Structure 1
Amino acid sequence: MSTNAGGKKVQMMDAATMVLASMRKMGISGIPRNYELVYEALNSSNPALTRDFDALGSHPTQAALDAVGAKYFAHHHKKTVVEGAHDKITDELETMLRTLRKEQSSLESYTRLLGETYHRISAKSTSSSEILGGIIAMLSSATGDTMEQGKVAVQEMVERAVEMEQVKLELDEYKRIANTDPLTRLANRRAFDDALPEIYNSRREAMYHALIVCDIDHFKKFNDSFGHPVGDRVLGVVAAVMRSTLRKDVFIARTGGEEFAVILHGTSQDVTMEVAERIRAAIQKTPLRNQKSGMDYGPITVSVGVCMASDAENATDLYNKADIALYMAKNSGRNQVQIFSDTMAGDIDKNWLIYRK
């Protein structure tokens, strides 16, 4: 067995060495999609690919490589939303710059005409009527051209601005989708991890912030007893109750399987505890029934942990301490709210580590 494994390892190293040597010889950039293309072409697993690759010659361009790559490995050559938006923005900016350059050229011509008119006025050999006629003709022509070109430039700039605004909207929508939990429509863990550290942007204001973490009690029983669709329904009910209980500007996220988090700004410990208790009570009062059969799946309860931002050093410490308070709520009988205190640290044993997993 060991000899076999060793032989395969040497074989893989030889293949990698051959690919790298070929890429260096042909002047091919060392980017991931090129490695795959060259490896497969040299491996001869796809004769058509090998023929197309050989047809590129001894020093293929990146565009030629990408053309072959897109034909056989489309998954590496699809543009992402962000890449597409970047290309759009680049095109719009180039168009705007061209417009501005044309406008600058027009203004330079206008300035040149005014300078010529000034010199004609200064020339003693020119009669007053000629001067006046020349001024009117030249300024009328120059001003008219400049105004017309200015209108075109403004219109082009407006069109570019509208198109760039559309790109911004597309990017905003992409970010919203990427930061949203598809099941509950709340913010997801990625969005939570971005939002929590902002609490500590100002140490002075950190004392007025708080973190609440909630975990659905006996959630596994819903899945085991009634199936995952009912478990998903439980998550949806909890999310809906939290949304209706809290203000619209409060940050709520689903941070794990059955765990949720709430970030409160501009709050005190008393207010935070009131909010946490309001969430717990509202969820307990919400029935979970099958609308068609009338079956009652039983009450939903949550355990809640709270930590004030002033009691933690940073975002990681804040989350860990709120999690400790949540564990204490679970360990003390569930369906209750606990706030972190320094005395809890001594009460936590190795079982907390098991709970966190």
Structure 2
Amino acid sequence: MNKQNSAVTSVGLRVATVMFQMGIDGLPRNYELVYEAYSGNNPELTKGFIAIGKHKTQKALDELGRKFLPHHHEESVAARTNERMRTEITSFIGLLEEEQSSLSDYSKIIDEASRSFSTDGEIDRETLSRSIQQLSMATERQASKSEALVAVAAEQAAALEEVKSDIDNFERMKFVDPLTGLANRRAFNKAVARVYSNPDLPMMCGLAFVEIDDFQRFNAKGAGDHAIRHVGQLFQGANREGEFIARLDGNRFAFLVNSAAEDEIMRVIDRMRAAAAMRPVIISDNGTGLGNATLSIGVAMSTIADNAARLMGFAEQALAASEKEGGDRATLFSRNAPASAGEQKGWMIYKA
């Protein structure tokens, strides 16, 4: 197992263990917060996590999350949007009040002109001329102001449409991995949490953690992201049943396969492995082939775990077993392994 794969597996296993030992609820935002704290990618977050102390309340975790993972606390996004909307609406109300005042002045001029036109007796040409001139000038001013109001109203309508687009885009992209177009870790955390939304009756499914073997080989050629995107696209093409697929981080993916049957779970896993091996990774700039991507996979069934943290922990252990055996295989963590498995009792190993 290369150092990068070992490090990722180690972090994932520690996260599941720490959450269980510290009694941290298996909420999606908690898993990502603990993962980031233990991965070492954000030293300040790690310091903040340690500073909370041994007993980490949900309130303290959320305060830390608001600072470092604001996407989990959508009220801050809503607050910013609300402030922008309030500014736009206040501005528009001001324009309407100005328009109302202008119309009132215009109405007075029209009223005065009307009185001069309807006066009985001899017509005062000078008064009539003055009234016509005032009415003409007032009409031009009002028309100009109305045009300006229409233009500003159009600008504000465009601004409000932009706000709506930003909100829609935020809702869409916060659960999408930008490199592959698959679901991201946040979406994965929510999906795993839903498995145990009813603790007494968890969803029947299998969780698979997946890593690209010998990923350093692709990184050394400057094709790490290309390999990840390539494998993600092959997974999408092979996902005929519409199972949940996410890219978590680095060269790691995850599947949630809806089935209570282990053999059905492994058939889906085998199809994904075959898809990854179907086409070699090719650097598009010069057409250089880097060979096929093989996968190490660890699978655990929801039926053998009573919460999301344990399910992920079992899948991590299965993944570690696959990598220890040299990769290019899938390991199922199962309570139904045959007695002949010897020292590997409790495991079923599927090889290519």
With normalisation by structure 2, the TM-score equals 0.49
Name the structure, 1 or 2, with higher relative contact order (CA <8 Å, separation 6+).
2
With normalisation by structure 1, the TM-score equals 0.49
Greater percentage in helix: 1
